[in-house]
Structure 1
Amino acid sequence: MSERSTTSGKPTRWATDTAPEHSQWYVDRFRRLAAEGVDLAGEARLLDTLVPPRSRILDAGCGTGRVGAELAARGHTVLGVDADPVLIEAARADHPGPRWLVADLAELDLAAAGEPEPFDAAVLAGNVMTFVAAGTEATVLRRVAAHLHPDAVIAVGFGTDRGYPLGDFDADVATAGLLLEHRFATWDLRRWRDGADFAVSVLRRPA
């Protein structure tokens, strides 16, 4: 992830909780991990199992583009959005092919950016939900869902010890009009247990 500057005037936690140089550190870190051959495709593998071939996927809070790039390599059409221009610049440099846009998830309006076609799925990986502006979580989920086809899925993963309680997330899911279908403790589908330090939730926009 993710989200440094916004158009709403309300700073994201990516902006308030990290130093200005953190974005470049994040870029450098994932470039190093990729060069070392570390497996960075777990989130993409999961989402790939949830959608038909050649789906249209929204990578919301795309960061440096590693998830969206892997989905594109698997044949999907990907649009990545992130509020941090440093991360979007890195995504464009490292992963040409998908379209990468600077956008505030709390005010997401992709039709205005020339992308009116709905998506078949969305993914919010890399602790995106713990970095959006405090109090905008339900709005973020609602704005992402508004860009999806009915019955589309949203895969969301974040650490449960990062200041956004899972109970609050579930309440925000309901407020956004989404349904929780599955929950796992990791992106490789280890069984969920209460108290796990990470949660992967598969949501669905009602048909």
Structure 2
Amino acid sequence: MTSRWERIARETAGDDYARAYADRFRSLSERGHDIHGEASFVAEMVAPPARVLDAGCGTGRVAVRLAELGYDVVGVDVDASMLDQARAAAPELDWRLGDLSSFELDETFDVVLVAGNTIPLLEPGTLLDACERLVNHLTPGGVVVCGYGLDADHLPGDCPPTALADVDAAFGVLGLDAVMRYGTWEGDAFDPAEGYAITLYAEPRR
């Protein structure tokens, strides 16, 4: 069965979408754009060599940068073609094929990063399962960081929005609170009208 992500990617970028995705960010970097907002955000939270799981790592852009900064990184993604691009860019890093609603790495991480609209691109009905798998890969006292678009302007193709309240509730069932929310990877204040949110989920303070 074709995943929601793969269907949308093929419709928007063609069969060679993984290469196109990698090339787009490579081109932006060559033109002087900062493409490392997510990695910089993590670096502001925790110092290397903390362990980071890049959940939904895609072509590996964020994981590669985190490794360059000294973090111990594992990338996991459901799309083998995206992982092929990641392995080509950084064959020395640890890339795993897995569905976020069912994966098991038998490891835990200080930060579980879920960026790149991974949350709304989950298969229908799998949000709670995915959140459970993410939480199960978190060290005690660790943080899940979720960043994604909230409306059609910030989502690819016909991907339906996922309400923040639904994600908050899913992590809440699993014992994590939304302890902080931002509007950009640069740390700007959250404004619902801007259509993007980065939320930190962690155990509530006692």
Q: Please give the TM-score of this superposition, normalised by the length of structure 2.
A: 0.86
Instruction: Flag structure 1 segments of 5+ consecutive residues without an equivalent.
Output: 1-8, 112-116
Question: 95, 108, 112: which is aligned to 1:118?
Answer: 108
Give yes or no for the alignment of 1:37 onto 2:32: yes
Question: 55, 64, 67: which is aligned to 2:59?
Answer: 64
Aligned equivalent of 1:141: 131
Give yes or no for the alignment of 1:156 onto 2:156: no
The alpha-carbon distance between structure 1 residues 105 and 145, as it changes in their structure 2 partners (threshold 3 A), is same
Aligned equivalent of 1:84: 79
Aligned equivalent of 2:191: 193
Aligned equivalent of 2:3: 12
Aligned equivalent of 2:49: 54
Please tell me the residue identity of whatever aligns with 1:100: W
Distance 1:95 1:36 in 2: 21
Aligned length: 193
Deviation at residue 205 of structure 1 after TM alignment: 4.2
The alpha-carbon distance between structure 1 residues 108 and 205, as it changes in their structure 2 partners (threshold 3 A), is farther
CA-based RMSD of the aligned residues comes to 1.8
Distance 1:34 1:41 in 2: 9
Q: Is the 8 A contact 2:18 2:59 kept in 1?
A: no
Please tell me the residue identity of whatever aligns with 1:86: S
SS in 1 for 2:148: strand
Q: Is the 8 A contact 2:76 2:96 kept in 1?
A: yes
Give yes or no for the alignment of 1:131 onto 2:126: no
Q: Is the 8 A contact 1:12 1:134 kept in 2?
A: no
Superposed, 1:160-179 pairs within 5 Å as: 160-161=150-151, 162=155, 163-179=161-177
Return 178-187 or 188-197, whichever deviates more.
188-197
Q: Is the 8 A contact 1:64 1:90 kept in 2?
A: yes
Distance 1:139 1:205 in 2: 18
Aligned equivalent of 2:104: 109
Q: Is the 8 A contact 1:81 1:101 kept in 2?
A: yes
SS in 1 for 2:101: helix
Deviation at residue 206 of structure 1 after TM alignment: 5.8
Please tell me the residue identity of whatever aligns with 1:132: L
Distance 1:92 1:121 in 2: 22
Aligned equivalent of 2:69: 74
Higher relative contact order (CA 8 A, sep 6+): 1
Q: Is the 8 A contact 1:121 1:152 kept in 2?
A: yes
Q: Please give the TM-score of this superposition, normalised by the length of structure 1.
A: 0.85
Please tell me the residue identity of whatever aligns with 2:167: F
Distance 2:66 2:6 in 1: 27
Distance 2:105 2:91 in 1: 19
Aligned equivalent of 1:4: none
